[in-house]
Amino acid sequence: MEKKSTPGILLIHENRKARFDYEIIETFEAGLALTGSEVKSLRDKNVQLKDSYVSFVGNEAFLQNAHIAPYKSSSYNNHEPERLRKLLMNRIELSRIFGALREKGYTCIPLKIYFKKGRAKLEVALVKGRKTHDKRESIKKKEIASQLRDTVRRSR
């Protein structure tokens, strides 16, 4: 089954494990402050968001543990693969996320990274961790949905 893509948006990487491990409360779009070799590496889709998260230093948000592989054709100007990357967001959104992280015990993680109108964007989400029984429940729902699709295909 092919996913529908929005015009002007080029998906680079999606953190699918996050949707399984966490319950998504709210999502935000953030820009990324990147170097030239990081952008070129993103265009080659050499990125991993698996264990990354958003942290705050002062009043600014940073992406931590996101691995953007060094660009092969770059010389001595290459970047550090897991450096802190500043998120470019509206002050209201930043204060909203920061307040939720402090008071409600939520976590902020990246869901996907993509290019929108030529600029690198990151979709971050406020999430709450799922318990083991919730994960089992979501697996059952997926299996039931796939069985239902299979029976509909066979009946045609």
Instruction: Check residue 106 and report its DSSP letter.
Output: -
Q: The domain that contains 123 carries what CATH number?
A: 2.40.280.10
The reply to whether 85 falls in a domain is yes
The reply to whether 100 falls in a domain is yes
The two tokens of residue 68 are: 């953007």
In the predicted model, is pLDDT for residue 1 greater than 50? no
Q: Calculate what percentage of the chain has a pLDDT beyond 90.
A: 33
The reply to whether 143 falls in a domain is no
In the predicted model, is pLDDT for residue 121 greater than 90? yes
The reply to whether 62 falls in a domain is yes
The reply to whether 135 falls in a domain is no
Residue 2 pLDDT grade (very low, low, confident, very high; cuts 50, 70, 90): very low
The reply to whether 21 falls in a domain is yes
Give the pLDDT of residue 4. Answer: 57
Tell me how many domains the chain contains: 1
CA proximity to 34, closest of 120, 125, 112 = 120
Q: Distance (Å, rounded) from C-alpha 95 to C-alpha 85? A: 18
Alpha helices (H) along the chain: 16-21, 36-43, 91-103, 132-155
Backbone angles phi, psi at 101, to 5 degrees: -65, -35
- What is the pTM assigned to this prediction? 0.76
Mean pLDDT of 3-15: 78
The reply to whether 83 falls in a domain is yes
Mean pLDDT of 121-149: 85
Mean pLDDT of 58-80: 84
Q: Distance (Å, rounded) from C-alpha 143 to C-alpha 150? A: 11
Q: Distance (Å, rounded) from C-alpha 107 to C-alpha 15? A: 15
Residue 108 pLDDT grade (very low, low, confident, very high; cuts 50, 70, 90): very high
The reply to whether 60 falls in a domain is yes
Q: What is the extent of the structural domain holding 87?
A: 9-130
